Amino acid sequence: MTEDELLKHCLSYTGVYKDYPFGEKWTVMRHVGNKKIFALIFQLNGHPCVNLKCEPNRAHFLRGIFKEVKPGFHMNKEHWNTVILDGDLPDEEIFDMVQHSFQLTKPKPKKLKKG
110 in a domain, yes or no?
no
Q: Is residue 49, in this structure, part of any structural domain at all?
A: yes
In a domain, 72, yes or no: yes
89 within 8 A of 83, measured Cβ to Cβ: yes
Question: What is the pLDDT, as a whole number, of residue 115?
Answer: 59
- Residue 110 has a pLDDT of 76
d(C-alpha 23, C-alpha 57), whole Å: 32
> Amino acid identity of 54?
C
CATH number for the domain spanning 16: value is 3.90.1150.30
Number of domains in the chain: 1
- Specify if 114 maps to a domain: no
Is residue 112 one of the residues assigned to a domain? no
Q: Decide if 111 is inside a domain.
A: no
Q: Is residue 61 part of a domain?
A: yes
Torsion of CA 66, 86, 82, 49, to 10 degrees: 180
Print the domain residue range for 54: 3-105
User: How do residues 23-81 score in pLDDT, each as one tens digit?
Assistant: 999 999 999 999 999 999 999 999 999 999 999 999 999 999 999 999 999 999 999 99
- Read off the pTM: 0.92
Show the CA angle centred on residue 4, arms to residues 81 and 86, nearest 5°.
55
**Residues 56, 59, 63, 69: what is their CA dihedral angle, to the nearest 10 degrees?**
-140
SS3 for 19? strand
Whether 115 is in a domain gets the answer no
Spatial distance between the Cα atoms of 97 and 105, rounded to a whole number of angstroms: 13
